Amino acid sequence: MDERSQFLADAAAQRRDRELQRVHNDVAIKLQALARGYLVRQKFVNDIRTTLSDKLSQFTDLEKSGKTLLSNDEVLKWSRLFLRIKRLPEDNEILGQLCRHIILSLDSSAKDTNWATMFLNKTTIAPASIVITDIISCIPQSLMYISGARVSEVKTWQTFIHFLIVFGSCNGWLLVRNAPQVQKVLNDLCSKLCCSLGEHANFTRLANSLFLASNEHKPVVSSQALNALFSIIMKYVKADNSLLPLFITHVLTCPAIVLHLNKANLDTFLGSGLFDRCLTHLRASSDIVEGIEPQKTINLLGNVVHLGYLDEETVKGRIVDWTWVIGLAMAQCTEFAVRAGEQSSHNHWHPIFGHYKLPIDPKTERSLRNVLKQLQMLWSYRIVCRLFDKALEGVDQARPNGHVPVKELGATFNKLWKKLGGGPTSDSAHAGENEKEIPPTLAAVVCQLYMTALSTMANMKNEIIAGVCREDRILRQLWAYLVRWGAEGKHTSSPSLSSSPLNAALALLARPQSPHVAPLRLFADAAAIVISILDEEELYERAVPFPLEELVHIARFCNYFCFRAVWNGYVDDRLADQGLFASIHQLCMVLHVRDSRRTFVNDPKFWLAPDVKSSVMMGEFEKKTSRGLLLMRRMSHLISLKERMLLFRKFVTADKANIESTATLITVARNRLVEDGYRQLSLLSTRALKSTIRVKFVNQQGLDEAGIDQDGVFKEFLELTIKQVFDPALNLFHMLGGRRLCAFDELSQLDPELYRNLTFVKKYDGDVSDLSLTFSIDEDFMGKINTVDLVPGGRTIQVTNENKIDYVHRMAHHRVFSQTKQQCRAFVAGAQSVLNPAWLFLFAPHELQFIISGYTRLSKKILTPRCTTRQLIYFAPLMIMHSRRGADQGTGGAADIDLADLKKHVQYYGGFHGSHRLIKWLWEIVEKDFTPDERRLFLKFVTSCSRPPLLGFSYLEPPFSIRCVEVSDDQDQGDTLGSVVRGFLALKKSQSSSRLPTDTRLPASTCFNLLKLPNYNKKSVLLSKLRYAIHSETGFELS
């Protein structure tokens, strides 16, 4: 490049540099100007904030004393500047101070400091109105940023609400308090100043602030502030119907907001018809509920239930709409509730729903206790009576209102039914072409409402059912409704069942989604709860809740329904523990247990299968068909006890045949019976316990007793062991009088004082909450008092009239079952070690008790275990082996001996016969001279067991025999032709005649159930010998 080109290039570069420098200088000047302007503005803004904050620094609360009010002009000047430069939420505190000053100024008697004078002056009314309007517009936005975590925030929050109340009406302003004409003008002005609160955005912000205020167990702000905010919101929603959806989705979803409202707000809310409008809108726009967050839906449910509890007239007049809304909200909650058996590690625990698919919102967790209080009103006495009185109205009339569907409501009930989880209501796949489902009625919908509550809030099942069945007449009306409903369908061919809903109910098993399943299930569940805690006076004398004749019909229906459901194949193992069958089966078992204790049916064949022979059902069971096994497991009472015991003996015999016949010999000292037996038998295996066990007794002198054990000695060992184990002196079991009943009735003897107290609570006519009871119990353990909760957090849950039935159940269950759970498990483990668990299905609990212990005074005692778990595991097999031999050889039975049965099945040897003189004397002595206790001792003397066989002496093995003997027992050679002839002709052998009457004992072979009877010549001698022998008992060394 030449010099000229280089010069031009350098000149151009210099020009660019100068231009760039000029641009940089211009930018710097502008930036400096902007910075100076920003800093000046910031200083100006900060000066305004600092100055106003300093001037209002004393206004940290609304106390009037010690505060100097600024002049109106000064406040106007600084507030206009502040409102132009405010930044939220940083300036919330200054805004709160400004609001406090203005509020306090309205009570000032000086005109230059009373803000109300600004509205009475033409020159200041406009700027003053602008200031108040701007403040009111800022408040909803400011409330969004307040969490209530600090005390200063709560004060500011309450100040904002107070400001809105003050400028909502001028009636409380000092200067115009006695000037109604001025008040009218200023009230119109106040309405205009606050009109921004009616905008959807600000209304939503106020509602969200209300949610935050109530989202604790106790409101974050004061009750007055919360009620003031609600009154502001209610004022605008009453005037503008377009705000109603926002009111429903943002206000009614506030946790337990109705619970926090004062009487004035509640009266205004209910009296204004706003609740009625909400129900109408929710009914017309179901998608509103579906769009609410699941965590907030439960809040809506609680508030609507609470409002229905308070507003009787609206619920009565709009019961369909109210039920619709409750069902709709509950259906939303049900979608996320985890049903029984579906729990997984991904579920969350909810204090109301139990296992839940969604996590609990930490922000609302503390308020759930209040929501639960509201939900409990759904099964309160007031709501339950209100719903069922309407749903079952006229149930005893020809066409009950609650049963016959109204045409215009048919579609409504069908929709609601589906929302509640019901299926198709017509044209079932199992029904014929001409058989259509009756549309759901109001009664069916109400019952389904409670059934949905039971499935959704499973951990409160007992409380819900107790609430539903608290009024006895509801159960009676519900049964009348079911009878009426069943009568409209096809009748059963059985005349005794012609008025029951049997066939209709059986048809429902094929249509589990039918709307008429709910009334049946609810009735069965509630009746089972009620009947299980009734004492005999209530059930049999006062006829609570049903007359005995009606109770018989219910029992017949339940028994026949369960039988047919299984036998006809409607129910299998998979469905037996759920749905309609499970509910009715539970009621059937409760009724069967009550009847087994004290009959109300007065028919020994009442509970037997009506149409199928027992042999057919037992054949199905032995073939192991599904219905045979299910029937025997669930309803073994359909077959007579005798036939089931024969089947049990058959199983025992087959089991014994499969066990090797190796015998185990144990040596037991009579003065250490329990200790020696426990030491030796507790070491044996299960198989060894089932095989033959021989016992050798050692007498008081330490010598082996004479005799060979062919089961007789072992039977004696079992009976003596059981007798000593239950001896109170040994303190292994604590014996209490009474009968073996359900939990509540067992409590009468287990803890009489607690039973009396619970009975008092159950029958208490006043307000149970006055008794200050909670769902907890104090237990004294080793001198230390421990409080045990009957439910989680039970010590904080008060017992009321609504939940007292649940309290009685839980208290009795804890005392009878929970405290003995470990001992019961040990007993079951020991029993199942020698007895196949499947065999227990053959017998009901009271029948199993009868088999083990028989109908004796001892068997009617309740025995509370005090021994160790290991000892219980040992004692249980002994009791079972004792009972297994009793089926053959007399360990169960009646209190006294059936002599006619014994004489009928006795065998005579050695010339004896039924008409023999000595035999007649024997039976006369046993029948007339012996007491019942002596008759039992006589039976023990000849068979080693004091009780007859459960099925009678025909099952005694070997049969009871009496043989004539002429010599002492150690010289006895058995029957000979001469001895038989002499015995038959009542002749004496001369060589032994002088010796026989002076013989000191009567010989008996207990192993063979044989009595060897000398041919005494006097009845008195026979009586004395018999008495001496039977009272000698142990140590007498029978052969």
CA distance 264 to 165: 15
Question: Can you tell me the distance from the alpha carbon of 749 to that of 768, in angstroms, rounded to the nearest whole number?
Answer: 25
Q: Find out whether 1026 and 925 touch, Cβ atoms under 8 Å.
A: yes
Contact 383, 377 (CB under 8 A): yes
Q: Say how far apart CA 136 and CA 662 lie, in whole Å.
A: 98
**Residue 197 · residue 236 · CB < 8 Å:** yes
Active-site option among 190, 447, 558, 1007: 1007
- Residue 694 three-state SS: strand
Classify residue 589 as exposed, middle or buried by CB count within 10 Å of its CB (0-12, 13-18, 19+).
buried
Is the dihedral angle over the CA atoms 183, 188, 192, 196 positive or is it negative? Answer: positive
Question: How many other CB atoms are there within 10 angstroms of residue 763's CB atom?
Answer: 10
User: Which own/partner pairs from 797-801 qualify as long-range (CB within 8 Å, at least 24 positions apart)?
Assistant: 798/769, 798/772, 798/773, 798/774, 799/761, 799/768, 799/769, 799/771, 799/773, 799/774, 799/775, 800/767, 800/768, 800/769, 801/381, 801/470, 801/767, 801/768, 801/769
Dist. CA 520–CA 582, nearest whole Å: 11
Place of tokens 């002429």: 966
> Residue 358, exposed/middle/buried by CB under 10 A (0-12, 13-18, 19+)?
middle
- CB within 8 Å of 142: residues ≥ 6 apart: 88, 89, 92, 95, 156, 160
Q: Rounded to an integer, what distance in angstroms lies between the CA atom of residue 245 and that of residue 267?
A: 21
Alpha-carbon gap, residue 703 to 694, rounded angstroms:
17
Distance CA 748, CA 764 (A): 18
* Residue in the block written with tokens 């698919």: 357
Handedness of CA 175, 180, 181, 184 (dihedral sign): positive
664-669 and 693-698 beta bridge pairing: parallel
Count other Cβ atoms within 10 Å, centred on residue 1034: 16
3-state SS, 32-95, equals HHHHHHHHHHHHHHHHHHHHHHHHCCCCCCCCCCCCCCCCHHHHHHHHHHHHHHCCCCCCHHHH
Single out the residue of 449, 297, 466, 298 nearest to residue 369, CA to CA.
Answer: 298
According to DSSP, residue 739 is labeled: -
Considering only the C-alpha atoms of the chain, give the largest distance between any 2 of them, rounded to a whole number of Å: 177
Give alpha helix (H) positions in 682-787.
686-690, 712-725, 743-750, 752-763
Assigned token pair, 226: 């919360």
Q: If 0-12 CB within 10 Å is exposed, 13-18 middle and 19+ buried, where does residue 286 land?
A: middle
Q: By the 8 A CB rule, do 97 and 86 touch?
A: no
* Distance from C-alpha of 362 to C-alpha of 215, rounded to nearest angstrom: 10
Pairwise CA distance, residues 944 & 4, whole Å: 145
Closest to 96 in 3D by CA, of 27, 55, 157: 157
Cβ 238 vs Cβ 272: under 8 Å: yes
**Contact assessment for residue 450 and residue 464, using Cβ atoms and an 8 Å cutoff:** yes
Pairing mode, strands 733-736 and 354-356? unpaired
The verdict on whether 1007 is a catalytic residue reads: yes
Which residues are known to be catalytic? 1007
